[in-house]
Structure 1
Amino acid sequence: MILHELIDYETLRLIWWLLLGVLLIGFAVTDGFDLGVGTLLPFVARTDTERRVAINTIGPVWEGNQVWLILGGGAIFAAWPPLYAVSFSGFYLAMFAILFALILRPVGFKYRSKRDSARWRNNWDWALFVGGFVPSLIFGVAVGNVLQGVPFRFADDMRIFYEGSFFGLLNPFALLCGLLSVSMLIMHGSAWLALKASGPVAERAGRFGSVAALATIVLFALGGLCLWVGVDGYRITSEISTTGPSNPLFKTVTTEGGAWFANYAAHPWLWVAPAFGFFGALAAFFGLRAGREVSTLLFSKLSIFGIISTVGVSMFPFILPSSLDPRSSLTVWDASSSHMTLFIMLVVSAIFLPIIVAYTSWVYKVLWGKVDEASVTDKGGHAY
């Protein structure tokens, strides 16, 4: 038997769908609090020293956290080529805005203290705010558009045609999802500051985070209500071949109200995903109000896991529906790389993903402890 045939094509496709979710959730629960702290920076810290405290809670770890975003993009490129082609070309301007905002973050970290000028530092602090807020918003807007369907189609020769626009992405439901993303990551950033910062920064973060946690609950519920009554889902009406060639045109798809809830009707245990989203945010709210630290951050992560998982299990097997031509929608079963490619990537991931997790865990262990004003004003230190 050839080695790669040890795992059948259907199972490999399912594994890579799960791994893509793991990478996206990994990015959200690690770099997500970096984005949340950046968004909160002008509001939880009122003096230069307080802002340095907030910045130094994420300064040593944000680069490592961003590895998960790179891994996610690489996984899409290698495991789901049609998804990469459609999303990275159709969402080009949105991707450019995200990259521009993310580039502001390292520049802001490195340059804000190069001049002893209040105006100079204030401008860079607002750049760090942009670097946190804009990606948080656009990531959520992108998910909202995916749930509604993206205006693309495949020609018979598999050429891709995208007929949307950047401003067309900014529709009411997508903006609702964007606000949910912002509130979720502000909650997460607040939980991180409550754990890692001290003094007024941690106290203000607790107040802002409590509001963000409640907003996350409300917006998550509103999003579910919109999916039930206002946003049509997608359903495959033809026979499904889970081991066939990666050609999305070999199926027929229809849109209908409530279709995104079909998986929950078929498998009621999947309701655990949205339950985690609500419970985690509610527990984070009470944790922030009570001044609990480690458990609050864990509950915040649980909420993120639940919210992102809810999107994945609601859409399965779809990964990018098409509003222009529903049969062109990309699914787990018709948008993957070859059997051999998925197997080789799985072997590589099985080797290197544990190394990344182990290294990241070690870094957090070494950097454990709070950041206070004394540590960032120490002339012999290396604080940002």
Structure 2
Amino acid sequence: MKYLKHIKITILLLIALLIGITVASLIYNSDVYSPWWAHVLVVIGAILLTLTIHELTHAIAFSILGIKIKAIYILIFMFIRKKKFFTIKINPRLIVLLGGLVVPLLPPVKSDEELEELSKKIAKSLIAAPIASIVFGFLWVLAFILILIFSSSMTFITLSITASFVILILTLLVIIASSAGTDQIAGDFVAYERVLNNKDYQFQVVDSYLNFNKPAQLESKAYLDQHKRNYLKTRYLGTSLDTLSYVTDYIDDVLFKKGKRDYIIEQRIFKMSYFKLEQSNEGITTLFMILYLYFISGEKEEAFNLLNRLEKNTNDKIDKKHLDYEIKRAHHLLGLEDNTEFLLDPKNEYEGFNWILKPVLDPEPPLDLIPLKLRIKVPIIKFFEIIE
């Protein structure tokens, strides 16, 4: 945003002012007692209040725009919708989020026009939260000034100083995080711009959110699949998360859901760089799916060569549990071993960060463990009569 730099400088100046006030208070009011545990409670309360305002603004914006909320995460707390009400769950592991998230229940999408309209609503929710956090930060400063003017309790003032430090620092961090972005992740401000101006990013966000609403996802399947197939036919197939997702979705559809095969797409998939795919867990998953595509296409030598290559992978970036599970699954699906018991045991699955969203995902159908069969795909050749 245009004025973010000025806002950050202003917040830094306010923090410096607070430091000055704190030092002065300690010098001239050294006899004022303020229990340490009270400051700890104030810090915790200020963090929860700031994060709650941020995440609730996301949720309220979605609700105003007619989109229901499935879940709200705030630090270690999960508020998950069960019909008309929200249940509360606590998971200390969620502290890794260092914040929270909101899971909306998107409606079905069946056309480019509906995608565009829905993207605008998502963009409004994205921009609303950081703006609310900034406004809250400055409103708190005004409240703190009033406390300094009208309060005669030094204990209350010192606790207010602590709260102000926390709120202003968090506000600054929200601005920094919201302004940051890479090819894989994006803060609220960056995501806002991308959702409005980048068609690929629009689709990626909507497609991801629809995973939390299976009925809507099923209703949108024809449109989503067509969009993904067009992408796979026309774009460079590198190692971006959206590309890997679309490749695995296509192969999964062909393998287990009787999806229609496309010769052009499959030839492009076979030309993807194995070396680059071997550098990430997501890429490893994609390579195993490519292996299966080779197998059902009658390219058994290619399939087993790729399997041997994957079995020899020693890249430290790859989770060993993930690789071992995929190898066991490959041996099973290719008919080399019966690993049914191992594959059905949830303890053996690679979890990654999937545990974060598992409570809000609809139950998945049982894992398809039927060994793969040969399904040779012959390209369609059209003959034209030559008229002299």
TM range (shorter): under 0.3
Normalising by structure 2, report the TM-score.
0.23
Identify, as 1 or 2, the structure richer in helix: 1
